[in-house]
Structure 1
Amino acid sequence: MMVENKLFLEELKVFVEKGLTLNEYDVEYLQGKFDKSLDLINQLYQLLVEQHHMLPIVSDIEADVYCSMIGYEIEHGRTFYGASLAVAERFQIPQTYVKYKIKDYNQPRVAHIA
């Protein structure tokens, strides 16, 4: 399931990067291929559109989306635990996986020069 989520997010990213809007056919294709709800597809598409200027430099689309969704949930009154659980449930993955992805993604990358 986790690999499918990454592929799903990569496909949505391509739509946004190419400036394409999702039409009914595209949504049905995504729903059928990835078994995602219309609501989730629309929410994620809008999230990526809002962040389109950052997409070329995003190293891990999956972690970036999870971070953004958790941030949104926290802004709307959830605790970190509740937010990460809500994101995990939306993607049908373990909460520990979501927490691992964002922990790893949020770690600073420091280059060591010898």
Structure 2
Amino acid sequence: MSDNKLFLEELKDLVENGLSLNEYRVNGLVEKYNKNPFLIIQLYQIIVKNYRVLPFLIDIESAIYEYIVNEEMLNDKTFYGATLYVADMFDTTQTYIKCKINQTKKAPNRLLSA
């Protein structure tokens, strides 16, 4: 399992268990996953916003990538630019992001949307 998936699963668990994202937890996630505190807070807010669909998500990683790409495309970015932006955010390749999004699009239950 990738670090990004573990990271997103941990954020999802925080939300599902009703735990707030305080400074202590943010610092722990920064140390554990080497992520930017702003990114952690932003992703936590996305997951909180979509709290009701969390039990139905099969792959949180794919769902988050697709959500952010869709949000970026609403802000006048092309699909290429949006996937490149997300790849930079998560320190991975654009190809990986595209593959994960394609997996989500093929899944019968696409629940997060922009």
Tell me, in whole angstroms, the C-alpha distance in 2 between the residues paired with 1:51 and 1:93.
24
How many pairs does the alignment contain? 108
**Deviation by residue 1:33-79 (Cα, 9 ceiling, x = unmatched):** 00000110011000000000000000000000000000110111101
Amino acid in the other structure paired with 2:62: A
Which structure is larger by alpha-carbon Rg, 1 or 2?
1
| Identical counterparts, % of pairs | 47
| TM superposition outliers: structure 1 runs of 4+ over 6 Å | none
- 1:112 maps to none
User: Quick check: 1:76 aligned with 2:75?
Assistant: yes
Gapped regions of structure 1 (runs ≥ 5): 110-114
C-alpha deviation, 1:108, in angstroms: 4.5
CA 1:108–1:55 in 2, change beyond 3 Å: closer, same or farther? closer
Tell me, in whole angstroms, the C-alpha distance in 1 between the residues paired with 2:4 and 2:90.
7
Scaled by the length of structure 1, what TM-score is found?
A: 0.92
Gapped regions of structure 2 (runs ≥ 5): 109-114
Two-structure CA RMSD over aligned residues (Å): 1.0
Tell me, in whole angstroms, the C-alpha distance in 2 between the residues paired with 1:25 and 1:108.
36
Amino acid in the other structure paired with 1:90: M
Alignment of 1:96-111 (within 5 A): 96-109=95-108
C-alpha deviation, 1:19, in angstroms: 1.2
User: Quick check: 1:8 aligned with 2:34?
Assistant: no
**Deviation by residue 1:12-40 (Cα, 9 ceiling, x = unmatched):** 00011111111110000000000000110
